[in-house]
Amino acid sequence: MGIAIILLTIFVKVVLFPLSWKQTEAQYKMQELQPKLKEMKEQHKDNKEALALAQIQIFKDHKINPLSSCLPLLVQFPFLIALFYVFQNGLKGGEAFSLLYSFIQNPGTLNETFLGVFSLVSKNNVLLAVITAGLQFWFMKISMTQKDTKKEKEKKNSKDEDFATIMNQQMVLFMPLMTGVMAYQFPNGLGLYWVAQTALSIIQQYGFLLMRKKQSLALQKSS
C-alpha cells in the first residue's frame, strides 16, 4: 500500500505538472513586480477603483493570474479526501472491500505496513509528522526566496515592512506546523502521501530555479 501511495503521488504530480509549473512562474513574476505594484499603490492610494484597474492591467500585460497558485492545491483535495476515507474505513476488510470495482478480486486482506516500518492506518506517528513538517518548511523557504538585492535587504530591515511580507514570513512557520499536526492526527497513509508530494515539489522547485539561472546567464552573455 505504501508503494501504491508513492506511485499515486507521482501520477498526480505528473498530471498537475503544467499547472504547478505555471504556478511557480507566476510566483516569481509576482516577486519581480512587487516594486512596480508598490509604486502603483502610492500613486492610487486615494482611488481604490483606479488601483484595482491598474493592477488588473499589469497582470494582463505580464500574463499573470493571481488565482493560479490556488488551482493545484484545489485539484489535490479530492485525492486527499479519497485517501482519508480509504485509510479510515477502506482497509478493514469485509464490507469495505465490496466498494471495489467488480472486475477486481476481493483480496481478503491488505498489507497496511509500509516497508515493515509503520502502519499506514494507525495515527500519532511523531517521526512521520516531523519529517512532513520539515519538508514543508524546506519547500516554503525555497519557494518564497526572493532576489538578494540591497533594496530588499533594506526592506526587510525597515520598520514599515509590507503586510504581505510579514504574512509570508509567518506562513513559512505556520504552514509546516499545521501540516505536521495534520500528519500526526490523521492516518499515516496521508502523511506518507504528503511527504512524497512535498519531496517531489522540492525537486521541481530546484529544477525551476536552475532553469531560471541558466536563462539569466544566457541573457547576460547575449547582452
Could you identify the residue written with the cell 535587504? 153
Amino acid 97: pLDDT: 58
Residues 190, 80 contacting (CB under 8 angstroms): yes
Q: Which long-range contacts (CB under 8 A, 24 or more apart) does 17-20 make?
A: 17/204, 19/68, 19/71, 19/72, 19/75, 20/72, 20/201, 20/204
Judge whether residue 82 has pLDDT over 60. yes
Higher pLDDT, 104 or 134: 134
Position 94 confidence tier, pLDDT thresholds 50, 70, 90: low
The span from the CA of 54 to the CA of 36, in Å, is 11
